[in-house]
Amino acid sequence: MLTLPLLAKMSSAALASGITACLTYGQYNVAGGPNGSGLMPPASVVHPNARPGVMLDPLAEVADAFATLKQDRAKAARNRAMIDWLGSLRTRFTVQRLETGLVYKVHYTPAAHAGAVLEDYVAVPYGPELPFAVSLHAAGNGVIRLEGLSCAGEETLGEVDLSEGGNTAETAAMAQAEAYLRTPDAADPGLPADCLTTRLNRS
């Protein structure tokens, strides 16, 4: 049977625990309920722009964290595959930095036979999205064929007649690369990191 002195002692202990928790954990809130309990930080700790008093959904935060981790790992693996490919090249290349990503321009030794690859324009988004390449192929009779290469496959993007003069083929390839970077394909952690660079091996 609970007596009044015992209840008083219990109340004092509970009050002391509460004060200790407040002093120790400061701005953290105690979350409790059927889904679990524990100390949950206010949303502003994780999201600086969150409204005051907004509480976090722990399960949603964990899911978001795992999704971000997967994308970060996919991006790191993609970049490593790109670095390995660039390091294996035996020809010169340049890089152009845009607001949406990088475009690597790889120049190969011109070949006389039709079908030879003349240049690759490789678009790499700043985010974790997939890369894309535009290749210039000699099609014969003064025509350059533009091929688009992605992790999903390849497609013909068009042809340019060199008789038109100027750097029309290069301009068209760069325009395709820039257009891709504006709306790149979403990252897919299920794909191998070198899904594009294996298609770019010209040896």
pLDDT digits (tens, 9 = 90+) for 103-121: 999 998 776 566 789 999 9
Helix (H, G, I), strand (E, B) or coil at 167: coil
Q: Model-level pTM?
A: 0.68
Alpha carbons within 13 angstroms on the beta-carbon side of residue 98 total: 18
* Backbone angle region of 185, left / alpha / beta, with phi > 0 → left and psi within -120 to 50 → alpha: beta
| pLDDT band for position 83 (cuts 50, 70, 90) | very high
As a whole number, mean pLDDT of residues 14-21 equals 46
Number of C-alpha atoms within 13 angstroms, CB side, residue 26?
Answer: 3
Percentage of the chain beyond pLDDT 70 is 63
Q: Give how far Cα 74 sits from Cα of 11, 44, 64, 79, Å.
A: 53, 28, 15, 9
pLDDT in tens, 143-200: 999 999 999 999 999 999 887 776 889 999 999 999 999 999 998 888 999 999 999 9
Cβ(136)–Cβ(173) below 8 Å: yes
